[in-house]
Structure 1
Amino acid sequence: MEKLAIFDVDFTLTKKETLMELYKFVVFKNFKNIRFLPRALFSGLMYSIKVYDEKRVKESFLKFIDKIHEEDLDNLAKEYYSKVLKKILYKDAIDMIKKLKDEGCKIYLISASPEFYLKELYDIKEVDVIIGTKFRVENGFFARQMDGLNCKGEEKVRRLKEYLKENNIEVDYKNSYMFSDSLSDKPLLDLVGNPYLINYKKKNDFKVLNWK
C-alpha cells in the first residue's frame, strides 16, 4: 500500500493565487490584454452574489487565452512557470515535499486551478501526480470550456479515487498526509490520518502549520 502526501496548490504551495498571476503575466507580456480586466471583475462580482458558480467564473475569466493554439499555450505555461510560478512557491512547502518523499510518500498535487499550467510543477522532481481542473482543446485550440467539474471539495476526492482505481493503487490513508490552506478541502483532509491547514487563522479542528 502507498502512503500519499497530498498538497493543494494555491496558498498552500504558493504565496499567491496562480490563475490571477497568469493573467498578470499575460498583461505584462502584452498590455493590450488589460482589456479583459473588466470581464474578470464582473465575473468576480457575479460569483460573490451567487449568480455565477466557479465553473462559469473560470470559463469567463479565461477569455484572455481563448482560442490560443495548444502549442502556444504549452509555451506560455512553461514561460509562466519559469518566470513567475516557481518564484512564488513557499520554501517550507518544498522542504515538506522533499521530507515526505524521503520518508516514502508519493507526492500528489490536487488543485482547482487549471491543469494546463499546473503540469509544469512536475519540474519539482519529487512530484508524482498532478490533478487539476481540465479544460477542452478543440481542433488544436484552447476552447475555454471546462472538461468535467471544477476540481474542488468532493470533486478532488472523486478525481483522486478515479486515478487510484485506474492505476490499481491501494492507499494507506491512515499514514497519509494532506495539506491545504482552506476548509473547502475538508473532504480530503478527512480522508487521511495526518491533515494540516496552512497559515490558517480561524478556529478549527486541524493542526496548523505556518509556511513562508
Structure 2
Amino acid sequence: MNDQLIVFDFDKTMTEKDTVLGFYKEASTVKLLYCLKLPLLYLFALLTKLNVITNTELKRLGIKLFLRGLKREKLEKVASDYSTKIKLNEVYRDDFGRYPPEKVVIMSASYQTYLKPLFPNHRVVGSELLFDSSSQVADLHINMYGEQKKKWLNNQGIDEIDILFTDSYSDKPLMDIAKNVVMVKNGEKELLKQNKDDLFYS
C-alpha cells in the first residue's frame, strides 16, 4: 500500500472533453482568426485519425497556428486563467482524491503549462513547449503521448504502475506496465485489467 503509484491521464479521463482546443482559443487574442484557422486544425486531426500524420505533427501545427510567438509571461498568464475554467468530471471527484498526492502522477499529452496551476500539489507530466531566445513560443519540445509517457517513468526508475486511469488505447505502453487499468468513457469506469492480489481498487 505504501508503495502505490497511481497514474491518471487527463483529457476525457478527468475532464468532460479535450482541453487543448480550449487552450488554443483562450490564447487567441483575435477570435475571428481563431475561427478561420480552426478548419485546418480539424483537417489535420482527421488525418491523424487516419494515420496519415502523427499526433506530434498535429500538435506542432496547433502550436504554429495558435501559440507561436506568444511571450512566456503572456502564455503563463493565459494558462493560469484557463486552468480555472476546466470542467472536471466524476473520476476527479470520486477517485482522484482517494490517493495522497505523493502517490499520484498526472500524465497527459495536454500542455503542462496549464496543468500545473490546476494541480499545484501533484506531480504533473505534460507536453512541453519550446521557447526561443526571446522567450517566445517557437515549437513543441516534448509531446507526452503514447510511448513517451512510459519512457518518462522509466527514466525515473519506475517500471510498474499500480493503477492506471485512462480513456484511450494510445496509453497502451502504460497499460502494459500497469497491474490495474480503469478505462474511462464518458465518465463511466470499466475495470479493464485487474491484479487479483490487489484489493485496494473496487
TM-score (norm 1): 0.77
Q: Which residue of 1 aligns with 2:144?
A: 151
Cα distance, 1:118 vs structure 2: 1.9
AA partner of residue 54 (structure 1) = N
Size of the aligned set, in residue pairs, is: 188
SS of equivalent to 1:34: helix
AA partner of residue 115 (structure 2) = L
Q: Which residue of 1 aligns with 2:113?
A: 116
Cα distance, 1:178 vs structure 2: 0.9
Q: Which residue of 1 aligns with 2:125?
A: 131
Q: Could you give the per-residue CA deviations for residues 180-209 of structure 1, whole angstroms, max 9, x where no partner exists?
A: 0112212212312222111279x99536xx
Counting only pairs closer than 5 Å after superposition, residues 1-212 of structure 1 correspond to structure 2 as 2-26=3-27, 30-32=30-32, 33-62=34-63, 63-82=65-84, 84-85=85-86, 88-101=87-100, 106-123=103-120, 125=121, 127=122, 129-139=123-133, 140-143=135-138, 145-148=139-142, 150-162=143-155, 164-165=156-157, 173=160, 176-199=162-185, 205-206=192-193
Cα distance, 1:110 vs structure 2: 0.5
In the alignment, structure 2 segments of 5+ residues that lack a partner are 195-202
| Counterpart-to-counterpart distance in 2, 1:204 and 1:192 | 12
Q: Could you give the per-residue CA deviations for residues 143-188 of structure 1, whole angstroms, max 9, x where no partner exists?
A: 1x2224x3222211101221x24xxxx67x47x2111011221221
In the alignment, structure 1 segments of 5+ residues that lack a partner are 208-212
SS of equivalent to 1:193: strand
SS of equivalent to 2:15: coil
SS of equivalent to 1:110: strand
AA partner of residue 141 (structure 1) = Q
8 Å CA contact retained: 2:179, 2:193: no
8 Å CA contact retained: 1:178, 1:188: yes
| Counterpart-to-counterpart distance in 2, 1:48 and 1:198 | 20
CA 1:80/1:205 → structure 2, altered by over 3 Å: closer, same or farther?
A: closer
| Counterpart-to-counterpart distance in 1, 2:174 and 2:106 | 12
Aligned identity (percent) is 25
Cα distance, 1:26 vs structure 2: 4.1
AA partner of residue 137 (structure 2) = F
| Counterpart-to-counterpart distance in 2, 1:60 and 1:46 | 12
| Counterpart-to-counterpart distance in 1, 2:167 and 2:54 | 21
Q: Which residue of 2 aligns with 1:210?
A: none
8 Å CA contact retained: 2:12, 2:167: yes
| Counterpart-to-counterpart distance in 2, 1:61 and 1:113 | 12
| Counterpart-to-counterpart distance in 1, 2:15 and 2:45 | 21
The structure richer in helix per residue is 1
TM-score (norm 2): 0.81
SS of equivalent to 2:10: coil
